[in-house]
Amino acid sequence: MAKPKIAFYWCASCGGCEEAVVDLAEQILPVVEATDIVFWPCAMDFKTRDIEKMADSSIAVSFINGAVRTSEQEHMAKLIRQKSGLVVAFGSCAGLGGIPALANLTNRRKIFKAAYHNSPSVTNPDGVEPKPEAMVDGHKLTLPVFYETVYKLDDVIDVDYYLPGCPPTTNLIINAVSAILESKLPPKGAVLSPDKSLCSSCKRNDTKPEQIYMESIKRIIDVIADPEKCFLIQGLICMGPATRDGCGAPCIQGNMPCTGCFGPTDSCRDQGGKMISSIGGILEGEDPVSMQKAIKGIVDPAGTFYRYSLSSSLLGSARKEGE
Ligand code: SF4
Ligand code: SF4
Give tens-digit pLDDT for 33-84: 889 999 999 988 889 999 999 999 999 999 999 999 999 999 999 999 999 9
- pTM exceeds 0.85, yes or no: yes
**Centre of ligand 2 from the C-alpha of residue 6, in Å:** 27
Please report which helix (H) or strand (E) contains residue 66, including its range.
none
The domain locations on the chain are 5-99+149-181, 198-305
Q: Which residue has the higher pLDDT, 289 or 54?
A: 54
Q: Which of 7, 315, 71, 61 is nearest to 188 (CA)?
A: 61
pLDDT at residue 288 above 90?
no
For 66: left if phi > 0, alpha if psi spans -120 to 50, otherwise beta; the answer is left
Q: Which ligand 2 atom sits closest to the C-alpha of 240?
A: 2
Question: How many angstroms separate the CA atoms of 82 and 74, rounded?
Answer: 12
Query: What pLDDT sits at residue 31?
Result: 83
Pocket test for ligand 2, best of 99, 162, 166, 305 (most atoms within 8 A of CB): 166
Q: How far is the CA of 266 from the centre of ligand 1 (A)?
A: 19
Pairing assessment for the beta strands 84-90 and 59-65 based on DSSP bridges: parallel
Q: What is the 3-state secondary structure (H, E, C) of 207-269?
A: HCCCCCCECCCECHHHCCCCCCCCCHHHCECCCHHHCECCCCCHHHHCCCCCCCCCCCCCCCC
6 backbone dihedrals φ, ψ, rounded to 5°: -130, 160
State residue 285's pLDDT score.
67
The percentage of the chain sitting over the pLDDT mark of 70, rounded to a whole number, equals: 97
Question: Ligand 2 centroid vs 39 CA: distance in angstroms?
Answer: 29
In 84-224, which residue ranges form alpha helices assigned H by DSSP?
92-96, 108-113, 170-181
> What's the CATH architecture for 5-99+149-181?
3-Layer(aba) Sandwich (3.40)
DSSP helix, strand, coil percent of the chain (3-state; round to 5): 35, 15, 45
Ligand 2 mean position, distance from CA 256 (Å): 9
Confidence of residue 158 (pLDDT cuts 50, 70, 90): very high
Residue 167 Cα, ligand 1 centroid: separation in angstroms? 20
Strands 36-39 and 5-10: parallel
Q: Which atom of ligand 1 is nearest to the CA of 207?
A: 5
Instruction: Answer yes or no: is the C-beta of 61 below 6 A from any ligand 2 atom.
Output: no
| Closest residue by CA, ligand 1 atom 4 | 230
The answer to whether 257 touches 229, Cβ cutoff 8 Å, is no
